[in-house]
Amino acid sequence: METGGLGKIYRDGEVIVRQGEAGDCMFVIQAGEVEVFREDGKQREVRLAVLREKDFFGEMALFDREVRSATVRALAEARVLTVDRKSFLRRVHEDPSLAFRVVEQMSHRIRELDAELTRLKTGN
């Protein structure tokens, strides 16, 4: 995906998406870092990942239009590009390998979740 300078600048600690909010777009990190975390029922944060330049998040919203499964906020200053469904589909039409890269990343994340679930269930 193109990662030029069109994105929005988020300040350190600024929330980009919040767990439970409706979502209809994905985001591409153009510069900086963001942290992805979930809030448990006890107001605690569980960090899931730190993402960097050229990583993306929020892609599930392009497919299922469900609420956000996690909160994402900037670490230091971050420039993040918003990609809506229409723009994504246009880019996939121009470069079909983009769809493969998104599915590949989603598959990688599912494997990590499966491994974590197995670890939690077996206590290892």
For the chain, the structural domain boundaries read: 8-122
Within 10 angstroms of residue 59's Cβ, the number of other Cβ atoms is 19
The reported pLDDT for the residue numbered 124 is 66
Q: Residue 1 above 50 pLDDT? A: no
Which tens digits make up the pLDDT trace of 54-102? 999 999 888 887 899 999 999 999 999 999 999 999 999 999 998 898 8
pLDDT over 70 for what percent of the chain? 95
Element (H, E) at 18: none
Helix 97-122 × helix 85-94 angle, to 10°: 120
Domain 8-122 falls in which CATH fold? Jelly Rolls (2.60.120)
Q: Which three-class secondary structure string do you get for 19-81?
A: CCCECCEEEEEEEEEEEEEEECCCCCEEEEEEEECCCEECCHHHHHCCECCCEEEEEEEEEEE
- Determine the Cα angle at 21 with ends 65 and 97, to 5°: 40
Which tens digits make up the pLDDT trace of 26-42? 999 999 999 999 988 77
Which pTM value belongs to this model?
A: 0.81
CA distances from 106 to 10, 100, 103, 122 (A): 24, 10, 5, 24
The reported pLDDT for the residue numbered 5 is 57
